[in-house]
Structure 1
Amino acid sequence: MNGPMTLIVLSVALVTVVALLVWLSLSMAAAEGAIGRVTRANLNNRIFEVQTDPDTNQFTTTKKIRRIHQVQRFIANRYATAGSCAFFRITCNVLSGVFVAIVAGTWGASWWIELLVGVVFAFVVAVVSILVRPRETGVNKPTDIMIKHARLVNFAVAVTPFARVGTSQDGRRRRDLDLSDDEELEKIQLEQGRAAIDRMVESNEFDPEVSEMMRNVLMLSETLTREIMVPRTDMITIECDASLEDMLKLCSRSGFSRVPVIGEDVDDLVGIAYLKDAVRATAFNPAAMSRDVASIVRDPMLVPESKPVDDLFHQMQRSRQHVAIVVDEYGGIAGMVTIEDTIEQIVGELEDEHDRTQHAEPKKIGDRKWSLPARTPIADLEELYEIDIDEDDVDTVYGLLTKLLGRVPIVGASAVTRGIRLTAVDSAGRRKKVSTIEVEPNGVEGREEDGKAQENADNDENNDHRDHKE
């Protein structure tokens, strides 16, 4: 009786040890999956939640905070902690196979059966610990998993000091780059996302254009507002004492429906004037044409130029604003940006029915009258009219017209230099930038007077105005 009873007791004890090892292996797998996704911000928020929980007594609060502090130490060197969890998990897998083999041996199994049973069991536990629930749970609730298994992870880290070897250099490199824990984690996740998209493209599961948009979405967090904004030098503005009639004319000629309203200069921003508001105020009340633009101005949305584009897009969605003024670190106006600019970072250039594509070559449209693309070099203009334009600081016809006007030209703007008249006649693209400039001798009958009148009108309506996005 003693022999069989001892055998049963020994087998039960070994099976209990095997079950404990399997549980430890699964727990370590869950912690290993969670350690790469826990951030300092999440832990700080959890501490605040624990401290402000009215249903928790002081003893429980102290206990929970102590565990959270343990997790904070773990993520200070997350790679060493993940290595310790992985080593401990593998060790538990191996030992579980060994103990299963011993159990088989105690019941008289042959040595090769013991070996086969132990290897198969260890392999099954390893597959389960990697592919089944623990990993998924670690992904979904990493903070809860790490807090729950803080003691086990602490033990694993304590018995595997060699896991820290090789990670100190990585830690120093990260500190040298001044990369925060959250930023490093986000960088890793972005790299994983790009790799996943590349694999899907290679497998032909997605259309190339869709794949490109997915890549662009991942790039939004790395793109700053200053990279997509229209700079202040390219903004069209209107002075606050201008009339609504001037506002309507400016919107009609420029093609824009939202115009920044300024005081003495661009940095003296009053607000944003909307074409819809101007039309609503004057459509049934012609007398309102003489009212100041300041009467319809709205408060502007201000954003820093260092704001990531994805945050900018979500902020514009929440505030229902389609245009924002970008400010620099000194509080000055750096430019402006629209919600269409953020969308273009994903889907590419957007154009509507009124947008035109500029022609690429000069065209002769009359006697000594040419239609030139805005980017035509000044050297080509000199060759066409056999004149010498000594302008070292500009290279194109568009730049020359801008310098002559002292502001960004819009359709209808005109100026004279060296006996020739340059007139902006067409715009292209959603940004309504001048695309075509007509050039002719200034002595053409009727043109000089018309040009002077047009230039005076430009000065009255758009003094110091600058081009911007709709």
Structure 2
Amino acid sequence: MVAALALPILLLLMASATISAAETAMTAASRGRMHQLEREGDRAARRVNKLISDQENMIGAILLSNNAINIFASALTTSVLSSIFAPGSYMGPLIATAVMTVLIVVFAEILPKTLAITRPDAAARFLSIPTYWLVKAVGPLARAAQWVVRQTLRPFGINLSMETDVLAAHEEIRGAVEYHHSEGLVEERDRRMLGGVLDLSEMDVTQVMVHRKQIAMIDAALPARELVTEALEIAHTRVPLYRDDPENIVGVLHAKDLLQALARAEGRMDTIDVMAIAREPWFIPETTNLKDQLNAFLKRQTHFALVVDEYGALQGLITLEDILEEIVGEIEDEHDLAVAGVRPQPDGWVTVDGAVAIRDLNRAMDWDLPDEDAVTVAGLVIHEAQTIPKVGQTFIFHGHRFQVVRRERNQITGLRISPPIERGEAG
């Protein structure tokens, strides 16, 4: 009788091992690799992607079928062994429990899952056919089980939709990048670039814009010669023009349009009608996130926008370059200063202009100062101090010492910041 039991137990264990391997392979397979293979015409990869697209149903079907097989194998073994011993004896169930625990854990769980995790992509493609038909057959039962689970949790205030995503795509990518960076497979610069792309939808234009106090602009009422001279002295290719009040932007002068006008006028600057060649300004709300603004720049085929608040007051300007720098880092040309406003000192401290963006300082010095509550370094000091500090005051927060060295009226214009200090030194 025991010999007759061996074959069905072996077949059941093989089925359980196959299902366990499929579970591990399907969840560990690289989605990016599978999508690439599918684009290349790989049918197995297409089946894997189809299974992964409804991961909850797939895992439910796998768990349901695997547990059913293991329970049936254990019950079959218990039935046979119990018939060998005297009626009412516990030896049969005890032996069956011990034997099946070892067989299931070692040969139907650990062994197949270990093999699958070593080459998950290949294993997922190899097991895609049996897994597909398994989900097809057991899927309805798995959905029914999920419905029971949801109804059971509902009285406790836990509501789960059928479309609940276990892991957001962005966080999955970010976690993978951080992991490979810690393993030395992704360089620091590449990690920051990939992180910058993921951060675009979480940042608004106010975090990277040029503040209105730093905008180089020209009075449109100036005589043509003076206006052209000022425009040529400014390092930027696009210059806002205002009338009467710097808040009243009436146009944007592009250097290329100005040069074309100068060529047509044969160098006679007094004859140029600057407002005739100025472009219409584009105003955007300060709540616009960087991802949407990047798409808007590409759609409108323009690289310059003025940021206004809910009352229409000018807050700053943003360019396509500002957004790209959040991804690739500072883009410098012959007119730019390397990390403008950040000047490392021989003693390790850093002299910083108050208007320097926190993100720029972090990138320049490889620091990790928070930028959730303030955009500039001066704003961070004021936020933490809960007052407008006086010259000479020193504060310690976020692992650095901040010393105010310059102040104009109520604006902090210069600071000295220490390198990261040890926890003991902060006291």
TM-score of the two chains, using structure 1 as the length reference = 0.47
Distance 1:123 1:117 in 2: 10
Q: 2:230 aligns with which of 250, 253, 261?
A: 250
Whether 1:157 and 2:146 are equivalent positions in the alignment is yes
Query: Where do residues 313-392 of structure 1 align in structure 2 (5 Å cutoff)?
Result: 313-356=294-337, 392=409
Where does residue 230 of structure 1 map in the other structure? 210
The superposition leaves residues 33-81 of structure 1 with CA deviations (integer Å, 9 ceiling, x where unpaired) of: 9xxxxxxxxxxxxxxxxxxxxxxxxxxxxxxxxxxxxxxxxxxxx9xx9
Where does residue 260 of structure 1 map in the other structure? 240
Q: 2:276 aligns with which of 292, 295, 301?
A: 295
Where does residue 250 of structure 2 map in the other structure? 270
Bigger relative CO (Cα 8 Å, ≥ 6 apart): 1
Distance 1:344 1:396 in 2: 24
The superposition leaves residues 394-421 of structure 1 with CA deviations (integer Å, 9 ceiling, x where unpaired) of: 6669xxxxxxxxxxxxxxxxxxxxxxxx
Where does residue 36 of structure 1 map in the other structure? none
* CA distance 1:160–1:269, change in 2 (3 Å): same
Distance 2:195 2:156 in 1: 31
Where does residue 90 of structure 1 map in the other structure? 63
Aligned Cα root-mean-square deviation (Å): 5.7
Structure number, greater radius of gyration: 1
Distance 2:250 2:237 in 1: 17
Where does residue 173 of structure 2 map in the other structure? 193
The superposition leaves residues 314-345 of structure 1 with CA deviations (integer Å, 9 ceiling, x where unpaired) of: 33233322211123223333221011111222
Q: SS of the counterpart of 1:160?
A: helix
Query: Where do residues 279-290 of structure 1 align in structure 2 (5 Å cutoff)?
Result: 279-285=259-265, 286-287=267-268, 289-290=270-271
Q: Are the equivalent residues in 2 in contact too, given 1:305–1:327 (CA < 8 A)? A: yes
* CA distance 1:209–1:251, change in 2 (3 Å): same
Distance 2:60 2:408 in 1: 71
Distance 2:153 2:123 in 1: 24
Q: Are the equivalent residues in 1 in contact too, given 2:60–2:143 (CA < 8 A)? A: no
The superposition leaves residues 8-45 of structure 1 with CA deviations (integer Å, 9 ceiling, x where unpaired) of: xxx99xx99x99xx99x989x98x99xxxxxxxxxxxx
Distance 1:332 1:92 in 2: 64
Percent same amino acid at aligned positions? 22
Please report how far the alpha carbon of residue 272 of structure 1 lies from its aligned counterpart in structure 2 after TM superposition.
1.6
Where does residue 130 of structure 2 map in the other structure? none
Query: Where do residues 3-42 of structure 1 align in structure 2 (5 Å cutoff)?
Result: none
Whether 1:204 and 2:173 are equivalent positions in the alignment is no
Distance 1:127 1:163 in 2: 34
Q: SS of the counterpart of 2:288?
A: coil
Distance 2:112 2:241 in 1: 69
Distance 1:122 1:392 in 2: 71
The superposition leaves residues 224-245 of structure 1 with CA deviations (integer Å, 9 ceiling, x where unpaired) of: 1011112233323334444553
Paired residue type of 2:315:
A
The superposition leaves residues 70-94 of structure 1 with CA deviations (integer Å, 9 ceiling, x where unpaired) of: xxxxxxxx9xx95x97566423211
Distance 1:149 1:269 in 2: 66
* CA distance 1:232–1:114, change in 2 (3 Å): closer
Where does residue 424 of structure 2 map in the other structure? none
Where does residue 55 of structure 1 map in the other structure? none
TM-score of the two chains, using structure 2 as the length reference = 0.51
Q: SS of the counterpart of 2:196?
A: helix
Where does residue 62 of structure 1 map in the other structure? none
Q: Are the equivalent residues in 1 in contact too, given 2:304–2:318 (CA < 8 A)? A: yes
* CA distance 1:207–1:134, change in 2 (3 Å): closer
Distance 2:261 2:198 in 1: 43
Please report how far the alpha carbon of residue 128 of structure 1 lies from its aligned counterpart in structure 2 after TM superposition.
10
Paired residue type of 1:352:
D
Q: SS of the counterpart of 1:326?
A: strand
Where does residue 454 of structure 1 map in the other structure? none
Where does residue 400 of structure 1 map in the other structure? none
